[in-house]
């Protein structure tokens, strides 16, 4: 049994009926905000919306979308939500953030990823407003495009990588290399798992995390 099949096996020991198991469905109800956050991201962070906000310098709507997304994301801790709220209290970060999110979501690559990290670090000298955290940055990617992107919860993803024998080159500060390796790890699981077949990355990661 390969590592991916083993995760399926372990999941089924806990939830014998798979994704239709009542216990799994009950667990899902505790995370019912997922679909709402995906909808919020897909509409509020669409490229035309971000471009219009930047062109008109009317950024409040996008900032409000970001605030609501983070407040509803179950992958973001209370501490990280507070850090993001304190970060947004500095109004001079709003335009750089909207521009960085535009580039991250719609011109995804190592440069736009690094730039977004830099922007989230703008208030790092205030220890209560350092928003450059893995769950914060990755939630914008994962909920905007859950077919392609992933959430990164540091402790859990490191445990999972160790179980699968994956080297994700983890660093505490978000970076493109680690993100891409986590992304590839999840994609390989989706390709090798019966349970995750046809599911988006958010569901695939939830299945994986039940095995660690």
Does 30 score more than 70 pLDDT?
A: no
Residues 115 and 167 in one domain: no
Q: Nearest 5 degrees, angle CA 66-CA 69-CA 72?
A: 150
194, part of any domain = yes
d(CA 81, CA 9): 34
User: Which of 3-17, 23-37, 138-152, 157-171 shows the lowest per-residue confidence on average (mean pLDDT)?
Assistant: 23-37
Residues 83 and 120 in one domain: yes
Residues 25 and 45 in one domain: no
Does 50 score more than 80 pLDDT?
A: yes
Residues 39 and 103 in one domain: yes
186, part of any domain = yes
User: Which of 25-34, 154-163, 176-185, 193-202 shows the lowest per-residue confidence on average (mean pLDDT)?
Assistant: 25-34
138, part of any domain = no
Residues 18 and 48 in one domain: no
**Closest CA relative to residue 65, chosen from 24, 26, 28, 36:** 36
Q: How many domains are there within the chain?
A: 2
161, part of any domain = yes
Does 140 score more than 80 pLDDT?
A: yes
Contact 102, 67 (CB under 8 A): no
Q: pLDDT at position 31, please?
A: 63
Across the chain, what does the average pLDDT equal? 93
Could you say which of 132, 159, 177 is where a domain stops? 132
Residues 53 and 16 in one domain: no
Residues 43 and 123 in one domain: yes
- Taken in order 177, 81, 160, 24, is the CA torsion positive or negative? negative
* 127 vs 183: which has the higher pLDDT: 183
d(CA 49, CA 102): 9
pLDDT band at residue 71 under the 50/70/90 scheme: very high
Distances in whole angstroms, Cα of residue 134 to Cα of each of 24, 28, 101, 103: 26, 23, 15, 18
Residues 170 and 100 in one domain: no
Q: pLDDT at position 76, please?
A: 94
Q: pLDDT at position 113, please?
A: 98
Q: Which helix (H) or strand (E) holds 192?
A: helix 176-192
122, part of any domain = yes
What is the per-residue pLDDT across 85-120, written as a single tens digit (0 to 9) for each? 999 999 999 999 999 999 999 999 999 999 999 999
Distances in whole angstroms, Cα of residue 119 to Cα of each of 42, 78, 134: 22, 21, 14
Residues 100 and 158 in one domain: no
Domain boundaries, position 88: 34-132
Residues 42 and 87 in one domain: yes
Contact residues for 46 (Cβ-Cβ < 8 A; gap 6+): none
Does 26 score more than 90 pLDDT?
A: no
Residues 110 and 195 in one domain: no
pLDDT band at residue 27 under the 50/70/90 scheme: confident
């Amino acid at each position: 049994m390969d590592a991916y099949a083993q995760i399926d096996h372990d999941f089924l020991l806990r939830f014998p009926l798979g994704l239709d198991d009542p216990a799994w469905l009950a667990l899902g109800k505790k995370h019912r905000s997922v679909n709402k956050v995906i909808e919020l991201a897909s509409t509020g962070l669409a490229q035309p919306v971000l471009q219009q906000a930047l062109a008109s310098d009317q950024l409040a709507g996008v900032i409000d979308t970001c605030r609501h997304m983070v407040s509803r994301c179950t992958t973001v801790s209370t501490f990280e939500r507070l850090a993001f709220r304190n970060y947004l209290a500095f109004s001079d970060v709003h335009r750089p953030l909207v521009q960085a999110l535009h580039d991250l979501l719609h011109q995804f690559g190592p440069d736009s990823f690094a730039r977004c990290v830099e922007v989230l670090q703008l208030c790092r000298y205030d220890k209560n407003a350092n928003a450059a955290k893995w769950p914060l940055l990755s939630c914008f990617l994962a909920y905007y495009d859950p077919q392609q992107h992933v959430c990164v919860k540091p402790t859990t993803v490191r445990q999972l990588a160790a179980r699968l024998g994956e080297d994700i080159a983890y660093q505490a500060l978000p970076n493109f290399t680690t993100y891409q390796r986590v992304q590839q790890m999840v994609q390989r699981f989706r390709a090798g798992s019966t349970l995750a077949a046809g599911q988006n990355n958010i569901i695939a990661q939830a299945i994986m995390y039940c095995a660690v």
